[in-house]
Amino acid sequence: MNEPAEDLTKQINNDTVLASCKKTLIILSSILLALTFSGAKITEANTFIFKITFTNPVGLSSLMLLAIGYLLIRYNSLSNLYVESFQKQWSEKVKSNYFYRNFDYHNDVVYGFIPYLFKPYVDLNNESIKRSNYDFVEYDLKTRLFFNAFFYLTTHDESGPSKPVKIYLFSSRSKLKYLAAVSIIFYYWLIEQFRHREFLELYSPIFIGLTAVFCSVWARFNPSV
């Protein structure tokens, strides 16, 4: 069962470890971006005990790259729980899209991309599935990086649930339907970015960190640019 968005927002706001990691990642990434684009150099830093002088700016930027890399990994692991929860909520909207699944109540038939994709494994219009109290199907959509999205398909009968089967969207025999399915996933993902500020709060530190790493590495290998 999905958690309400309000509850997830409260959990994110109350997660002090995540907030601390996010703050440190953004600060270090912003400093590295400023050094990369402006050409500024950190020559010394004041501490409560003594003053530190930096004589190797390349070594300093390398140290910051390592620190940002570590923080990106740590932040990703801390935020993954919330990202998956939000992802599960909007992936349910994808599954309800008429392209993926639609019902003809007059003829008692379900059609769309999901029945088409599942056809080699299970027929969703099988009478035993529609009528029996024991036979039913469960499927969860894992969006991942869009192009490698897949369904976890589990069938149930009197003996219990089967072993989940991973069915990738790109296994569709029709590549046009696959492209349409991926486009719909991307559309819902993009819409959610503007509807919920939590998405921006979760993804922006990763985006800033990766941008800082890329720009710093690019400037190092292309000093004339």
Query: How far is the CA of 146 from the CAs of 12, 87, 149, 179, in angstroms?
Result: 25, 12, 5, 10
pLDDT-based confidence at residue 36 (cuts at 50, 70, 90): confident
For 161, other C-beta atoms within 10 Å of its C-beta total 11
- Using the predicted structure, report yes or no on whether residue 39 has a pLDDT greater than 80: no
Mean pLDDT of 120-132: 75
Q: What is the DSSP letter of 4?
A: P
Comparing CA positions, the residue from 208, 224, 205, 220 lying closest to residue 33 is 208
Q: Which two tokens stand for residue 109?
A: 């038939």
Average pLDDT of the chain to the nearest whole number: 83
pLDDT of residue 163: 80
- Using the predicted structure, report yes or no on whether residue 166 has a pLDDT greater than 50: yes
- What's the first-to-final CA gap in the chain, in angstroms? 51
pLDDT of residue 117: 93
Greatest mean pLDDT range, 33-37, 47-51, 161-165, 205-209:
205-209
Helix extents (H) in 39-196: 57-96, 113-118, 127-131, 175-195
pLDDT of residue 162: 79
Output phi, psi for 104, to 5 deg.
Answer: -100, 95
Q: Which two tokens stand for residue 67?
A: 């620190």
Handedness of CA 155, 157, 160, 163 (dihedral sign): negative
Greatest mean pLDDT range, 45-49, 55-59, 111-115:
111-115
For 91, other C-beta atoms within 10 Å of its C-beta total 20
pLDDT-based confidence at residue 196 (cuts at 50, 70, 90): confident
pLDDT of residue 1: 42
Torsion of CA 15, 20, 21, 23, to 10 degrees: 120
pLDDT of residue 136: 72
pLDDT of residue 104: 84
Query: Using alpha carbons only, what angle is made at residue 118 by residues 114 and 119, rounded to the nearest 5 degrees?
Result: 115
Strand partners, 53: 44
Task: Using only the alpha carbons of the chain, give its radius of gyration.
Answer: 24
Mean pLDDT of 123-138: 70
